[in-house]
């Protein structure tokens, strides 16, 4: 599934992380400011295989859409008023591990 995002250095561990992962390039642009422009990246987002290392998690809804992609589970949990466990129990989707492949930088 093709998505767009920005990439930022996290000073705590010195690694780059994808941020603002959304379906629309235009929506990602709304997160940017004139004082802090960043490149936008095109990425392929899919459910990770058990053997693939990843810290990203996301939400797979019943229509097969992947949303709410974050580099840790805590950030995902706050997207749901009662948490992902309740949403899963109501049959609205499930939490999945996410594998991200960078396709390239957008113009």
Q: How confident is the model at residue 33 (pLDDT cuts 50, 70, 90)?
A: confident
When pLDDT is averaged across residues 74-100 and rounded to a whole number, the result is 96
Residues 6 or more apart from 27 whose CB is under 8 A from it? 4
When pLDDT is averaged across residues 57-78 and rounded to a whole number, the result is 95
Q: Looking at the predicted structure, is the pLDDT value of residue 54 above 90? A: yes
Q: How confident is the model at residue 34 (pLDDT cuts 50, 70, 90)?
A: low
Instruction: Write down the pLDDT at residue 37.
Output: 76
pTM over 0.95: no
Is residue 8 within 8 Å of 38, Cβ to Cβ? yes
Sign of the dihedral through C-alpha 70, 75, 77, 81:
negative
Task: Give me Rg for the CA atoms of the chain.
Answer: 14
Domain ranges of the chain: 2-105
Name the percent of the chain lying above pLDDT 90. Answer: 82
Instruction: Write down the pLDDT at residue 10.
Output: 87
């Amino acid at each position: 599934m093709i998505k767009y995002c920005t990439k930022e250095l996290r000073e705590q561990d010195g690694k780059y992380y994808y941020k603002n992962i959304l379906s629309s390039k235009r929506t990602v642009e709304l997160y940017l400011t004139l004082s802090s422009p960043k490149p936008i990246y095109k990425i392929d987002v899919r459910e990770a295989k058990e053997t693939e290392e990843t810290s990203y998690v996301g939400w797979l809804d019943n229509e097969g859409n992947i949303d709410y992609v974050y580099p840790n589970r805590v950030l995902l949990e706050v997207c749901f008023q009662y948490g992902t466990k309740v949403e899963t129990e109501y049959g609205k989707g499930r939490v999945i591990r996410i594998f991200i492949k960078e396709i390239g930088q957008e113009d």
